[in-house]
Amino acid sequence: MSGKMINRPLLLTYFYLLIYVLLSSGVILYNKWVLSPKYFNFPLPITLTMIHMGFSGLVAFFLVRVFKVVAPVKMTFEIYATCVIPISAFFASSLWFGNTAYLHISVAFIQMLKALMPVATFIMAVLCGTDKPRCDVFSNMLLVSVGVVVSSYGEIHFNVVGTLYQVTGIFAEALRLVLTQVLLQKKGLTLNPITSLYYIAPCSFVFLSVPWLLLEKPAMEVSQIQFNFWIFFSNALCALALNFSIFLVIGRTGAVTIRVAGVLKDWILIALSTVIFPESIITRLNIIGYAIALCGVVMYNYIKVKDVRASASQLPIDTIPDRISKDWKLEKKSSDIFVPNNGGGLSSDMNVDEETPLTQSSRLSHVGRSSSGSHGA
């Protein structure tokens, strides 16, 4: 009987991990399919991101204000102006650039470029004074960078514009993560996935409306753009579900497990994308370069987990659980992400990739954003 009691929570944990991996991969592939001129042909990445933000913000509003699932935090104008607005601006930018990259380069190559996330985050953290230059971390960052360069050299359909969009999006996401840590922690503000969406999504929507008015609204007026309600509704729903799956996973797993799941998800996504999008060709150099980059990422993850455990061991017993929880969430993607952060953060991607303004991207130490359907998990 006790065996069953032990195995059931474990099975549930792996079930949640599976859901996260499927949703994270699905959101990225779905975004690519919607945006690609060869498939659904909706080449308006800002519009798609605004749909995600509008939908997520609306759902969060109902959950907070109507159904009162969670209580809103004490948000003052000063905190909103100095914290939420700048974080939302970089969040919107990371989603905009990340989604635009889908128009120019393959999903597989985008995932390989995302290995640069810990490099970007480390650079931004050092520049903002939240981290110190370290030889061990620097050597890992160098290894990751070399791997990405090799992978890029082996890319058959290399596109400078798409690569620049993706790398810019990665650095915007990294800056958002660091600002989240610096600004919200300083204010002692704690946001969970729902309240993060409640505050961040509407503000990001407003920021995105500026480039939309200048770049995409004129194009929509002169060209025949197809709009299928169910396609966009299901796409936004998947992005929202991804954010909540991250919330479930983080509550049941540790840093090591989530990082392994993130790396596994990337490999699955690269393989799946070549099957779903036949024009996406992976070369031997691509694989070699990505493998080199992943070695650096795995070593970096190991250092971060070791740092968390070391700092926890130096604390009084009664504060260890809180500290581990805090450090873990601060460490923690694509596209395609939101996790409760004691330091008060919105983070992305278990994924940077995911559209998840509410969670510390697992790629911060790169396990991998969301994007609530955009960043490409």
pLDDT exceeds cutoff 70 at 243: yes
Separation between Cα atoms, residue 30 and residue 234, nearest integer Å = 10
- For residue 376, the model assigns a pLDDT of 44
DSSP string, 294-315: HHHHHHHHHHHHHHHHHHHHTS
- For residue 367, the model assigns a pLDDT of 30
pLDDT exceeds cutoff 60 at 319: no
**224-247 core/surface letters (b: 16 or more CB in 10 A; e: else):** eeeeeeeebeebbebbbbbbbbbb
- For residue 142, the model assigns a pLDDT of 93
- For residue 318, the model assigns a pLDDT of 46
Backbone angles phi, psi at 354, to 5 degrees: -95, 165
Amino acid at 144: V
- Residue whose tokens read 């929507």: 205
Q: Which helix (H) or strand (E) holds 210?
A: helix 193-211
Average pLDDT rounded to a whole number, residues 338-346: 34
Categorize the per-residue pLDDT at 246 as very low, low, confident or very high, splitting at 50, 70 and 90: confident
Residue 370, beta-bridge partner list: 354
- Residue whose tokens read 């490409």: 376
* Of 162-171, 188-197, 269-278, 304-313, highest mean pLDDT: 162-171
pLDDT exceeds cutoff 80 at 124: yes
CA diameter of the chain: 67
- For residue 343, the model assigns a pLDDT of 31
Q: Are 79 and 187 in contact (CB under 8 A)?
A: yes
- For residue 356, the model assigns a pLDDT of 52
- For residue 224, the model assigns a pLDDT of 76
> For the chain, what are the domain ranges?
7-42+226-278, 47-105+159-225
- For residue 48, the model assigns a pLDDT of 96
- For residue 256, the model assigns a pLDDT of 65
Average pLDDT rounded to a whole number, residues 4-10: 67
- For residue 166, the model assigns a pLDDT of 97
pLDDT exceeds cutoff 80 at 250: no
- For residue 223, the model assigns a pLDDT of 78
Categorize the per-residue pLDDT at 330 as very low, low, confident or very high, splitting at 50, 70 and 90: very low
Least confident of 160-169, 281-290, 325-334: 325-334
The DSSP output letter for 215 is: I
Q: Within the chain, how many helices (H) and strands (E) appear?
A: 15, 0
- For residue 15, the model assigns a pLDDT of 87
Categorize the per-residue pLDDT at 333 as very low, low, confident or very high, splitting at 50, 70 and 90: very low
Amino acid at 87: I
pLDDT exceeds cutoff 90 at 64: yes
Q: Are 110 and 101 in contact (CB under 8 A)?
A: yes
Q: Which residue has the higher pLDDT, 46 or 368?
A: 46
Alpha carbon of 223 to those of 44, 85, 219, 220: distances in Å?
Answer: 12, 33, 6, 6
The DSSP output letter for 364 is: G
* Sign of the alpha-carbon torsion through 225, 377, 105, 204: positive
The DSSP output letter for 67 is: S
Average pLDDT rounded to a whole number, residues 217-223: 85
pLDDT exceeds cutoff 90 at 162: yes
Separation between Cα atoms, residue 123 and residue 133, nearest integer Å = 9
Separation between Cα atoms, residue 102 and residue 36, nearest integer Å = 7
